[in-house]
A and B are shown apart, each in its own frame.
Chain A
Amino acid sequence: EVRLVESGGGLVKPWGSLRLSCVASGLTFSDAWMAWGRQAPGKGLEWVGRIKSKTSGEGTDYAAPVKGRFTISRDDSKNTVYLQMKSLKIEDTAVYYCITGIKGHYDDAFDMWGQGTLVTVS
């Protein structure tokens, strides 16, 4: 069974920084492309960004609202993906989900989601 467990959320002031972690189990982590999504309170889903596997070049892509402020990285030895967030804004307040997709559809079919971790910028 695939499990994605996020941690690191909390309360942070505007312009502050925070790093989220996601530990994955039950999958061949080194092969998986990992993504982050978020959901503001009472609002819809938003894709934040993605990191490819090492064999695919570990390329990253980010949503326009977070580009230049957020950085996704991975440590395959720890089965962990990170989301480093800087220059946080009020509008970054959301539950952040660690996500992975169906093999071959890592950018369009997200079948595994963590339980989410709440980030509050205030």
Chain B
Amino acid sequence: QSALTQPASVSGSPGQSITISCTGSGADIGAYNYVAWYQQHPGKAPKLLIYEVTTRPSGISTRFSGSKSGNTASLTISGLQAEDEADYYCGSYSRGNTLVVFGGGTTLTV
């Protein structure tokens, strides 16, 4: 059972926008602006897309954006492309008994 809750799957058509939610608690997402999002293609290592809720690392497309409200963070992917089909994970710093917690992952089908 993951500390953060994500929908198991989402889908969208090329060119559309989708949003993936990530719900935590007052001990993690609600307590800190240290939420990150990762993309993972099958058989590959995860790739950092967003950190500090809204910040994109260098080289990450502006089609990826993050936000947070209360205990829930969200990742929005605009202008969906076939290569966006992957698993997406949220992560957060936590003051619970584990320093870093992840969501269970969301499979995006384009």
Contacts and interface: CB of A to CB of B under 8 A. Distances in A.
Contact of B48 (A47, A50, A111, A116): A111
Contacts of B100: 35, 47, 50, 63, 107-108
A45 B51 contact: no
B102 A45 contact: yes
A61, A110, A116: residue with the most chain B Cβ atoms closer than 10 Å: A110
Interface string B93-110: 100011111111100000
Contact of A105 (B2, B47, B51, B105): B51
B77 to A, nearest CB: 19
Interface string B1-28: 0100000000000000000000000000
**For chain A, what secondary structure do more than half of its interface residues adopt (helix, strand, loop), or is it mixed?**
strand
B105 A45 contact: yes
Interface in A33-53: 35, 44-47, 50
Given A45-B105, A108-B91, A110-B36, A63 B98 contact: yes
B99 A107 contact: yes
B48 A44 contact: no
Interface residues of B, number: 27
Interface in A80-122: 97, 102, 105, 107-111, 113-116
26 contacts: A35-B100, A44-B89, A44-B102, A44-B104, A45-B89, A45-B91, A45-B102, A47-B100, A47-B102, A61-B99, A63-B98, A64-B98, A97-B46, A102-B51, A105-B52, A107-B34, A107-B93, A107-B99, A108-B100, A109-B48, A109-B51, A110-B38, A110-B46, A111-B57, A113-B47, A115-B45
Given A44-B105, A45-B89, A111-B51, 12 more contacts: A35-B100, A45-B102, A47-B91, A61-B99, A102-B48, A105-B51, A107-B100, A108-B91, A109-B48, A109-B51, A110-B46, A113-B47
